[in-house]
């Protein structure tokens, strides 16, 4: 039996059907991929907004461009990032790229092939040190794409709106306000903190399922409260049993002995084999360092988790807390400095950069070595003094001590253990003079700058940023004092933070 009414057929090359809109709202969230419906004879390029009419597209694009020219991935794109098989981690649905961490180890696509990108410069630096033992420091430009990928400055969370800026405030007062607003932006929101806590619980649960003898402990910036919203999560793989770790067998502040270290490394390999089979993770890799670690990328959040076979960090944590209590503005300064290093590839410890703990102690050193009368009292003064102190200090002969606040001859008094000093006496191997020597106040035998051969790039960068800030503090028509320092961090992290 046929209908007595003739069926209306749209001959448009981009027809609208109500079923598509209903499908989008009620069915799409349970689907892994979606194709735009259009006529089979159409040669028109598929629209990035398949469910919106052609007359509405110009308005949508205008809204996107007004906010930021590089929009965050849509829910359709986010949901299409799924593994097809546990056994093949390189196959992804929808042809979408794997979620990636934007830093020096995982640069953005437009940074990988640039000769002046942080990654290229650090690789070139390593080669020059191997061949001739030295290199020329240069200003490190922030990672980021072409101009169309940058957000407008008036949309940045830390930029003060013109109607809220009083003409009577000084440049330093404005810098204080921007740093405080940036700290609020950079640290995890309530939702992001819950997402990070959920990931910690998830990894801990999976590790316990693999072996009930393995215990994980949160440490690092996540434990001290200094973590940024997109910071890696550090978990310490603790001793598995009292039999393998007799009490008082060694100083807990020192690295574990060889036999215990080997057992921990074996367990890292066990975790790598097991976690790589789970659909929640990708890029499980064991990295060999002074403290071997396992890096795992969580697919859902895009956060990187590091499981480290490190020593006890409670004493270092207490030392950091003491300085944060004495100088409350250190937290705000750290958020800016950490971002400044990270956005320029200078926090990549695998290529000669500086990690979170050395950066924190560099800030402390710049404060305690300032005369009492001129010691910073606000975050703006702290940032300004940090830039000036580390750009001007001569590192070829002297090292820096925090407790007590003094300088020492780094050739004869360099921080190291007695065993390392005895070995050095037998087989002298002079380290290049440009290396920074910073004595760890929590462990006098630990030199926080012994592997930071990018220090000349750090000083060149801080020298330029310091001079630029001094000029900008006297300007009244600038959009922001802080944006030249932190770079395009908002654009680079916008998509990742939306996923959290």
- pLDDT band of residue 255 (cuts 50, 70, 90) is low
More confident residue, 59 or 334: 334
Q: In this model, does residue 369 exceed pLDDT 50?
A: yes
Q: Give the pLDDT mean for 483-489.
A: 93
Task: Give the model's pLDDT for residue 202.
Answer: 95
Number of other residues whose CB lies within 10 A of the CB of residue 210: 16
Q: What is the mean pLDDT of residues 92-109?
A: 42
Encoded tokens for 377: 């009292």
Among 67-81, 117-131, 247-261, 337-351, where is mean pLDDT lowest?
Answer: 67-81
Predicted TM-score (pTM) above 0.85? no
- In this predicted structure, which of 20-24, 52-56, 251-255 has the lowest mean pLDDT? 52-56
**pLDDT above 90: percentage of residues in the chain:** 46
Question: CA-CA distances (angstroms) from residue 472 to 2, 90, 160?
Answer: 78, 47, 15
What pLDDT score was predicted for residue 55?
Answer: 38
Enumerate the domain spans of the chain.
190-314
Mean pLDDT is lowest, of 241-250, 306-315, 333-342, for 241-250
- Say whether 242 sits in a helix, a strand or coil: coil
Q: Are 287 and 295 in contact (CB under 8 A)?
A: yes
500 vs 109, more confident: 500
Give the largest CA-CA distance in the chain.
102
Q: Which of 282, 296, 299, 278 is nearest to 80 (CA)?
A: 299
Q: What angle do CA 115, 117, 122 make, to 5 degrees?
A: 90
Q: What is the pLDDT of residue 292?
A: 85
Task: Tell me how far apart the alpha carbons of residues 474 and 480 are, in angstroms, rounded to a whole number.
Answer: 12
Q: Which CATH number fits domain 190-314: 3.40.50.720, 1.10.10.10, 3.30.460.10, 3.40.1190.20?
A: 3.30.460.10
Mean pLDDT of 184-207: 95
3-state secondary structure of 92: strand
Q: What rounded mean pLDDT belongs to the chain?
A: 77
Nearest CA-CA partner of 291 in 356, 348, 236: 236
pLDDT above 70 (res 304): yes
């Amino acid at each position: 039996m046929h209908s007595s009414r003739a069926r209306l057929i749209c001959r448009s090359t981009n027809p609208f059907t109500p079923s598509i809109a209903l499908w989008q709202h009620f069915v799409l969230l349970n689907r892994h991929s979606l194709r735009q419906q259009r006529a089979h004879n159409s040669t028109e390029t598929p629209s990035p907004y398949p469910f919106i009419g052609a007359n509405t597209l110009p308005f949508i694009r205008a809204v996107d461009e007004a906010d930021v020219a590089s929009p965050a991935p849509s829910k359709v794109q986010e949901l299409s990032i799924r593994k097809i098989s546990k056994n093949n981690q390189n196959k992804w649905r929808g042809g979408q790229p794997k979620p990636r961490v934007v830093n020096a180890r995982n640069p953005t696509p437009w940074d990988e092939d640039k000769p002046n990108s942080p990654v290229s410069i650090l690789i070139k630096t390593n080669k020059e040190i191997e061949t001739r033992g030295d290199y020329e420091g240069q200003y490190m430009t922030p990672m980021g794409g072409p101009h169309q990928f940058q957000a407008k400055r008036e949309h940045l969370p830390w930029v003060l709106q013109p109607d809220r800026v009083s003409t009577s405030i000084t440049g330093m007062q404005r810098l204080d306000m921007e740093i405080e607003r940036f700290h609020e932006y950079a640290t995890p929101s309530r939702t992001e903190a819950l997402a990070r806590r959920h990931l910690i619980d998830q990894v801990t649960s999976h590790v316990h399922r693999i072996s009930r003898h393995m215990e994980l402990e949160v440490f690092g910036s996540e434990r001290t409260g200094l973590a940024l919203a997109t910071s890696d999560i550090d978990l310490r793989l603790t001793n598995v049993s009292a039999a393998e770790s007799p009490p008082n067998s060694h100083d807990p502040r020192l690295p574990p002995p060889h036999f215990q270290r080997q057992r921990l490394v074996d367990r890292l390999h066990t975790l790598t084999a097991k976690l790589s089979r789970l659909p929640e993770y990708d890029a499980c890799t064991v990295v060999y360092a002074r403290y071997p670690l396992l890096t795992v990328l969580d697919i859902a959040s895009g956060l990187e988790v590091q499981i480290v076979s490190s020593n006890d960090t409670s004493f270092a944590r207490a030392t950091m807390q003491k300085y944060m209590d004495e100088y409350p503005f250190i937290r705000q300064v750290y958020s800016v400095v950490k971002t400044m290093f990270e956005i320029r590839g200078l926090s990549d410890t695998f290529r000669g950069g500086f990690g979170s703990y050395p950066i924190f102690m560099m800030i402390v050193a710049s404060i305690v070595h300032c005369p009492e009368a001129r010691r910073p009292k606000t975050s703006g003064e702290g940032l300004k003094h940090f830039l000036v102190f580390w750009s001007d200090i001569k590192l070829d002969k002297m090292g820096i001590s925090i407790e007590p606040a003094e300088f020492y001859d780094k050739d004869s008094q360099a921080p190291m253990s007695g065993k390392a000093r005895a070995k050095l006496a037998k087989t002298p191997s002079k380290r290049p003079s440009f290396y920074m020597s910073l004595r760890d106040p929590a462990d006098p035998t630990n030199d926080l700058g012994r592997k930071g051969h990018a220090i000349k790039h750090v000083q060149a960068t801080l020298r330029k940023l310091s001079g630029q800030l001094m000029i900008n503090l006297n300007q009244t028509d600038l959009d922001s004092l802080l944006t030249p320092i932190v770079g395009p961090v908002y654009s680079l992290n916008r998509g990742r933070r939306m996923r959290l």
